Amino acid sequence: MTPEIVDTISLIVQPKTQSIEILKGNEESTGKIDSRITKGTKDLSEITLVRSGNRSYSEQRPIKITPGYVPDAEGSALIETGNTVVMCAATVETSVPPWMRNKGTGWVTAEYSMLPRSTRERVRRERSHVGGRTQEIQRLIGRALRSVTDLSALGEISILLDCDVLRADGGTRTASITGAYVALHQALTGLLEAGKIKTIPLKDQIAAISVGIVNGSAVLDLDYNEDSAADVDMNIVMTGAGEFVELQGTGEEATFSRSQLDKMLVLGEVGIKNLLEAQRTALGL
């Protein structure tokens, strides 16, 4: 389709087609997949089955990434995947942790939290103690972002990504990784423009999505209800080159076969390609 100049940047995948329309404008930079994703696999028998939101098993939820959402942060993005909403903000510090000083290399790390009413029942604030789940997730986010960052080219600069869940409906950790990449890219662009670094030290894009086995079928992009009922739950983190950074898969009182694993990986790759495109559109790349 022919790009047209409008007020926003949107990435729209039209239902029931393979076509993608990229609309570009000058004021707002929003990477958005407005409609349900049907740009999926043809060889999975599950694609005709209907789930919540009237999605087939190979469809992901609508995606919207709004960059620059936090004006005072060096980089930021609001990512919406269906009803899950996460705010990601990057903070640049001209220092590194004590154990990294005088090594000439930088650091990228992350913190993750959920607002008390981001869920159906209030979540207690983690004021004095960070829970095990939170620690696991923020370490995952940090590992993922460092895997595509050339820390030696960053110099002795630290970038902290804060990922705060405003609304949780499944896939908060994967949305955090996808949105945090946009915030990180913005922060690095600012450092480049300020002459603090010579080039943007990113080796590749990175994004993440959930897959699972529900009622015996491979499913892409699980919401909360599906995640709660899933026989198998898996989070996939991939680079733009299609390489895996992390696979977190667990059978919930069930096992899964190699064939089911392969189907989940195929679905995850399709979903991540859409997320990568939404990232590029949001960043104007």
The model carries a pTM of 0.83
Cα–Cα distance, 241 to 69 (Å, whole number) = 28
Q: Is 255 exposed, middle or buried (0-12, 13-18, 19+ CB in 10 A)?
A: exposed
Nearest to 278 by CA among 93, 96, 49, 20: 20
Of 37, 75, 113, the residue nearest 275 (C-alpha): 37
Predicted confidence pLDDT, tens digits, the chain (285 residues):
333 322 333 333 322 222 223 233 333 445 555 444 444 433 333 444 557 678 889 999 999 999 999 999 999 999 999 999 999 999 999 988 888 888 889 999 999 998 888 888 888 887 777 788 889 999 999 999 999 999 999 999 999 999 999 999 999 999 999 999 999 999 999 999 999 999 999 999 999 999 999 988 999 999 998 988 899 999 999 999 999 999 999 997 789 999 999 999 999 999 999 999 999 999 998
The per-residue pLDDT for 31 is: 57
Provide the β-strand partners of residue 93: 158
Q: Domain boundaries in the chain? A: 68-203
The CATH fold assigned to 68-203 is Ribosomal Protein S5; domain 2 (3.30.230)
What is the structure's pLDDT at 242? Answer: 95
Q: Is 215 left (phi over 0), alpha (psi -120 to 50) or beta?
A: left
pLDDT for residue 158: 96
Identify the pLDDT of residue 115.
86
Provide the pLDDT for residue 50. Answer: 57
Nearest Cα residue to 133 out of 92, 168, 94: 168
